[in-house]
Structure 1
Amino acid sequence: MHGVEPLDPPSPEVARLYLDQVEAVEQRRERRIDRRAVAWQTILSAAVTSVVITAYVFVFRTDSSAIHPLLFLIIIMSQISAGMGERHGLQWRTPRSKVWYVVLTVALAVAVIGSFFFILLSPGHGPLWVSFIPGALLLIGFGGLGLVQLWKARGSERVVREPREPLPLATRIATAVLGLFLGAAALSIGIRDNLGTSLVMLAMMLIIIGWFFAWTTDAGPASLGRYWRWPQFAAYGAGMAVIIWLSLQSAYSGEVPMPIRVGAGALVALLLIGSALVPESHRRTPSNGAS
């Protein structure tokens, strides 16, 4: 820092004491990281994202007015995944002395994004089977990375799980509002007016960007991954399935009747609102080493 004198270096005795504590610090860190859970998260995130990306490409081939809800699903999924990583103690940094990790990750990202945009910008979008390429690359690449993580974690000690935190009120509200948002996105699928589609997509994108400013709070997008349990994940997965089905129907079966769109949007909203209202289950937490 400018204007501040550097600190005096520690004496050899103090430096040795620091080094003696390195192993203890690493052990405490390892107890906070559930590497098996992180590996399964990587695998499942790759699988779900590959499905959404494949659906996005298929829908874009015939009906670009039905793709914006799928784009929102991809963005929201990335935030949920980040929150799950924090819950499992994942450190978002590059491993030391592992250049291959950086090269592999960058190469996979370039391959997925490059193939994705190549298909979207190609005249006629190429043969139908080409639409599977981005999702397959993502699934094989990042899903394979998750399998490697799972293999490396096979000998690690089981993490002693801390008592789970209850779902905060702010996260419950965010879950219910997300249900309303995705319900509205489902209702907007198949709008045939280009101007109307653009305005809806712009308004919804601004809402998501505004939501990101609440990142550090219990109402932020990452809080969903930190605090959600199986009822919320199940509701979100079912809502994703409804939106993907509705988008594909709009693209390949003609215009979806308004009653079906209203019913699908209401179902998505009610699933997440209902999951936000699920009461906490009171479980006994382990104490004094007993389970």
Structure 2
Amino acid sequence: MAKGRERTGRVEPRFEAEGTGDPASLDLRLSRGDRAGGGVAKGTSKGTSKGSAKAAPKRAARAAAPAPRRRRRSFLGSLVYGTVILGLWGLVAVAGIVAYHASQLPPIDQLAVPKRPPNIAILAADGSLLANRGETGGRTVSIRELPPYLPRAFVAIEDRRFYSHLGIDPVGIARAISQNLTRRGVAQGGSTLTQQLAKNLFLTQERTASRKIQEAILALWLEHKYTKDEILELYLNRVYFGAGAYGVEAAAQRYFAKPAKEVTL
């Protein structure tokens, strides 16, 4: 028990060269063999060095190759971003212009197609027409009374895409702008039948950008309010044919001395 309880002396670590007792004389520097990887065989090291030397240009080429692509992608990304931003600002500007010109019109919910001025027809005893009295020069006719080729002729000449557009024809507008720029003047108009009707019903004949914008707004309203055939019928009864004749009935009486339903090709 006494031996078990006997304390053992503490042993301190000593850093000194063997046999000198001087810590300063101890060389603690690491040799090549003590460093990590220092024990690799010389042949292996040379082989690795040669392999690394051969692979270095390939790695450099691989690292350098994607750089132009990255620059190209960066340029394209900037271009797309800039285009999107400009497009959004353009939409905001267009919306602001449309809202301003729409505010100059009567409220949409109060709009109504004005009634056609009355016409007085003087008939003979046998029912034949002797004369018309009124601003329009002829009565209102329905599209069903007319021969089919008459309304089709107006669509073919004035607005070929009448039955497919929503009141505004972007293709027709682009074509008109191109023709006008090429010929350096107003060679063509881009207005649809609906826009022409809107101008005749609600606006003046002045040629201004403000009137064209209001014309487009009213054309969209007409397309929402009426069917295509109703719009075409309104147009055929309101368009001015000259010589005081408004509408196809008055024009047929004025130029051919017969009703519009009897007009031939």
TM-score range normalised by the length of the shorter chain: under 0.3
Q: TM-score normalized by structure 2?
A: 0.25
> Would you tell me which structure has more helix in proportion to its own residues?
1
Larger Rg computed on CA atoms: 2
Q: TM-score normalized by structure 1?
A: 0.24
> Would you tell me which structure has more strand in proportion to its own residues?
2
